[in-house]
Structure 1
Amino acid sequence: MTDDTGDQSVHITTPDGAQLAGRLVLPPDGREPRLAVVLHGATGVPRDYYTRFAAWLAQARDAAVLTYDYRDFGASAAGPVTRSGATMAMWGVIDQAAALDWLCDHYPETEIWVIGHSLGGLCLPFHANAGRVARLIAVASGPAHWTKHPLSYMPSVVAFWFLLGPLATLLCGYLPGRLLGLGADLPKGVFWQWRRWCTSRGFYRVDWGQSMPHPTPDRMTGAVTLVGIADDEMMPPERVRRLADFYPAATIRHRVITPAEAGSKAIGHLRVFAERNARAWPLLLDGIA
């Protein structure tokens, strides 16, 4: 992979006035994009984590690839996390839609793809421009529930949702992810709504018509590839398969990637986009012409 892809900073304004910091990676050597892709990241994963994957995709598919950070997080943070009023619904419904709208506005005649990592694959039915999307690749994304993890992972789940997570968030006024060894700090509203979804049998259906609008599932009529990671304890492949229920008008394809296919000992929930697992990246596009 070469490093001569274009890289531009972009600014995305959401309908409610939030400012999202984005990065647009263009095909190398000045080639015209044949494809435009927005990559919606996972919860607590900054846009820069996806930079090398975006550069690879720009080169491999002559794609313009947009990455960005959700409001009050990463490069989009505008002040102390304790002052943030962000929720998971704002990230998934408003911010993701704004990023997709930006891409559609700037590439009105180009085929549009969405790649969604975890949270990034959940909310396309809420987005007005879902009908423009030719393909969604949802990676390690699905309707989670705290009882649907492998037994070996359950102590971590119980601690996060019922012990350390709530206690730390109440004490600090935000989820201190760095302190807890979970990565990034998160706004308290994001944690509490995330917890609500993952401890409710209906997952995010519990907030439809309340803090979230009702989705329009048949907006997405393109192709959907649901990619599970075989050793993902946070989002087991069986839960990824359940995401098909939220895309009833789409053409669904399922794919499970194993660490052995990626030449890795382990991938897990977050590391499929890490450069050390770059051998897995073409597998995300298996069978896509």
Structure 2
Amino acid sequence: MSTVQPQSLTFQAEDGWQLTGDLYVGRSPKVAILVSSGTGFPRRFYRHMAAYLAEQGAVVLTYDYRGIGGSKTASIARSAIDLPDWGRLDMPATIDVLEAKAPDLPITHLAHSVGGHFLGLMPNHDKIARNAFLAVSTGYIGHHAAHYRLMEAYFWWGLGSYSLMRHGQLKPIGGWRGEALPPEVFKTWRRWSHRPTYFQKDFESTLAPQHYDQVRSPIRSWLFTDDPIATPKAHEVLLDAYPNAPKSLTLTSPKDLNVKRIGHEGAFKPECAPLWADVFEWLANGTETRGTDF
């Protein structure tokens, strides 16, 4: 049981949207860590790893994107929230909050899945010293594991279409275990996930202005051999969006951590805690023990 207890925070994005986060402060911290969630994952999902990182000597901020968890309004049905808003508005605000709460500490970034997609939309991305990407890749179904694609087709065009028509949002029904998603978030995610280059086609249109080629903070990625989504190919295409950032990769199997399964989200669960020391070492000191440059 962790001795670090989170402090809840509320703060505003540039457009006035109220966001909610949790701040974990360890003893004699030497690094500040922002934790950016995967799609549909509330900040509480990351509480065990956040508390561990704080105990090692960090100030850690977890947060909910707008429309998720504590950062949603009474109803998200038919709201105008779109996926790029998380990167263009929410993530920059969290960096500013973390900078204020941990002055003089280097700011680093721990990203899960979609949390690694939007550095290039952040006007203040250059405040980040290093990035740890866990299970980060594109959502393109053609680059995912073959056995997973039928379920994805059902999700995009069966469950998703029905839920939007019936509820005006993606509800946690029919196999979707994440938080409810605003309709435009789901539709943009679906559109990108049917393109081999994912969102890069939109760099000069709906994602402009963007700064992907200006991101130079190093990215170290962890992929997991039993993850059907963040496969090496899907990861490679996503990292192509950051052409000027130094990159390295560690591939980990469940056997390496003495667990039965890691998958797309298991790295943040307590049974995978042996991985967390390596992540902290990278974020705090820039040290790589098993990373391969690419």
How high is the TM-score relative to the length of structure 2?
A: 0.90
Equivalent residues in 2 for 1:179-198, closer than 5 Å = 179-198=174-193
Give, in angstroms, the shift of residue 115 of structure 1.
0.6
Query: Secondary structure of the residue that 1:56 maps to in structure 2?
Result: helix
Query: Secondary structure of the residue that 2:81 maps to in structure 1?
Result: coil
| Alignment-derived partner of residue 236 in structure 1 | 231
| Alignment-derived partner of residue 130 in structure 2 | 135
Paired residues of 2:143 and 2:233 also in contact (CA < 8 A) = no
Paired residues of 1:229 and 1:237 also in contact (CA < 8 A) = no
CA deviations 1:130-170 (Å, max 9, x no partner) are: 21211011111122312112221111011112222122222
In structure 2, how many angstroms separate the alpha carbons of the residues matched to 1:217 and 1:59? 33
Give, in angstroms, the shift of residue 209 of structure 1.
4.0
Worse overlay, 201-210 or 265-274: 201-210
Give, in angstroms, the shift of residue 59 of structure 1.
1.1
Paired residues of 2:164 and 2:183 also in contact (CA < 8 A) = yes
Higher relative contact order (CA 8 A, sep 6+): 2
Same amino acid, percent of matched pairs: 30
CA deviations 1:92-135 (Å, max 9, x no partner) are: 32211211222123334211100110010111122122212110
Paired residues of 1:72 and 1:79 also in contact (CA < 8 A) = no
Worse overlay, 185-194 or 82-91: 82-91
CA deviations 1:47-70 (Å, max 9, x no partner) are: 00101100101112x100000101
Give, in angstroms, the shift of residue 88 of structure 1.
0.9
In structure 2, how many angstroms separate the alpha carbons of the residues matched to 1:286 and 1:210? 38
In structure 2, how many angstroms separate the alpha carbons of the residues matched to 1:169 and 1:180? 15
| Alignment-derived partner of residue 23 in structure 1 | 22
Paired residues of 1:93 and 1:127 also in contact (CA < 8 A) = yes
Unaligned runs of 5+ in 2: 288-294
In structure 2, how many angstroms separate the alpha carbons of the residues matched to 1:76 and 1:90? 13
Equivalent residues in 2 for 1:103-122, closer than 5 Å = 103-122=98-117
Unaligned runs of 5+ in 1: none
Select 2:73's aligned residue among 50, 69, 78: 78
| Alignment-derived partner of residue 35 in structure 2 | 39
Paired residues of 1:114 and 1:136 also in contact (CA < 8 A) = yes
Letter in 2 for 1:145: Y
Worse overlay, 63-72 or 243-252: 243-252
In structure 2, how many angstroms separate the alpha carbons of the residues matched to 1:169 and 1:235? 26
Letter in 2 for 1:176: K
Letter in 2 for 1:137: A
| Alignment-derived partner of residue 62 in structure 2 | 67
Select 1:256's aligned residue among 234, 242, 251: 251
Query: Secondary structure of the residue that 2:77 maps to in structure 1?
Result: helix
Paired residues of 2:200 and 2:241 also in contact (CA < 8 A) = no
In structure 1, how many angstroms separate the alpha carbons of the residues matched to 2:274 and 2:47? 16
Give, in angstroms, the shift of residue 218 of structure 1.
4.1
CA deviations 1:21-76 (Å, max 9, x no partner) are: 0000000xxx232100100000000000101100101112x100000101121111
Query: Secondary structure of the residue that 1:282 maps to in structure 2?
Result: helix
Q: 1:206 to 1:41 in 2, by over 3 A?
A: same
Query: Secondary structure of the residue that 1:114 maps to in structure 2?
Result: strand
In structure 1, how many angstroms separate the alpha carbons of the residues matched to 2:281 and 2:51? 18
| Alignment-derived partner of residue 292 in structure 2 | none
In structure 1, how many angstroms separate the alpha carbons of the residues matched to 2:32 and 2:267? 21
Worse overlay, 173-182 or 269-278: 173-182
Give, in angstroms, the shift of residue 226 of structure 1.
1.5
How high is the TM-score relative to the length of structure 1?
A: 0.91
CA RMSD of aligned residues (A): 1.9
| Alignment-derived partner of residue 220 in structure 1 | 215
In structure 2, how many angstroms separate the alpha carbons of the residues matched to 1:39 and 1:85? 25
In structure 1, how many angstroms separate the alpha carbons of the residues matched to 2:8 and 2:155? 35
Paired residues of 1:88 and 1:189 also in contact (CA < 8 A) = yes
